[in-house]
Amino acid sequence: MYAEHTRSHIHIHTILTFKMVCAGCAQAAMKADQDWAVPPCVLLWLRLLGSSGHRSEKDVRDLVQNAKNALSVRIHTPRERELVGAIEWLSNGDLGETRHAVERCLVHAPADAMLLKFQTDICLFGGFSHQMRDAIARSLPMMDCAKTPMFSFVLGLQAFALEESGDTRSAISIAKSALELNKKDMWALHALTHALDQEGRTLEAVSSMPSFFLLVMYF
């Protein structure tokens, strides 16, 4: 999950760019290192939020237990331990406590794009639009455009959070900045399209969507 973890087989890029192989990457990571708590956490995140999994299902309960067992086998960083707590809250259906736990993770790693994506998903499903916006705003001063991994995607997340919070003008500006860094940033494209549409600029919204984005959205 974290860019500096040299054993990680999880590709952050696959989730931030909506690639369908992200679950397979997490499964490969869990198989390669069964004593690391992060891969089952990623699988739980995808299972519970990405495919409508339920905490009553055996595979969900097993993944929670795998993550907790890993904590007892090997020393984990504070943010990894907080992440397991967040996933446990998520498996219990409490999005509010999940959000608080992810915010505690971000105290330890404010420049972690994957955590910000997780927080964005939690806030989106829970209706916490302003908290989504604020979490990213707190993290951005800790980042460097040239050095922070996945920085352009964080700008895309910020644009989306601004759009969800009703600040369409700022959302459009930030989304365009993100797209200058990475023209295939799906969150920036998503935010730009929504914000333009909300301002009544429908033709601009449609023209902002390249063909590959239409394919991702509708197929």
Length of the chain: 219
Residue 13: the pLDDT is 54
Residue 12: the pLDDT is 55
Q: How far apart are CA 65 and CA 174, in angstroms?
A: 40
Sketch out the chain's domains with CATH numbers.
1-149 (1.25.40), 152-219 (1.25.40)
CB atoms within 10 A of CB 48: 22
Q: Which residue has the tokens 């040239």?
A: 146
End-to-end CA distance of the chain: 27
DSSP conformation class of 37:
S
| pLDDT at 51 exceeding the cut of 70 | no
Q: How far apart are CA 39 and CA 5, in angstroms?
A: 12
User: What token pair was written down for 175?
Assistant: 């989304």
For the chain, what is the mean pLDDT? 82
Burial of residue 36 (CB within 10 Å: 0-12, 13-18, 19+) is: buried
pTM above 0.85, yes or no: no
Q: What is the pLDDT of residues 173-185, one digit of tens each?
A: 999 999 999 887 8
Residue 14: the pLDDT is 53
Residues 6 or more apart whose Cβ sits within 8 Å of residue 107: none
* pLDDT tier at 131, thresholds 50, 70, 90: very high
Comparing CA positions, the residue from 91, 29, 46, 39 lying closest to residue 67 is 39
Residue 6: the pLDDT is 39
Residue 174: the pLDDT is 95
b/e string for 107-141 if b means 16 or more Cβ within 10 A?
A: eebbbbbbbbbbbbbbbbeeebbebbbebbeebbe
Residue 49: the pLDDT is 78
* DSSP line for 13-51: HHHHTT-TTHHHHHHHHHHH-TT-SHHHHHHHHIIIIIS
Pick from 16-30, 140-154, 170-184 the range whose average pLDDT is largest: 170-184
What percent of the chain has a predicted confidence (pLDDT) above 70?
A: 81
Q: What are phi and psi of 19, to 5 degrees?
A: -75, 140
* pLDDT tier at 8, thresholds 50, 70, 90: very low
| pLDDT at 186 exceeding the cut of 90 | no
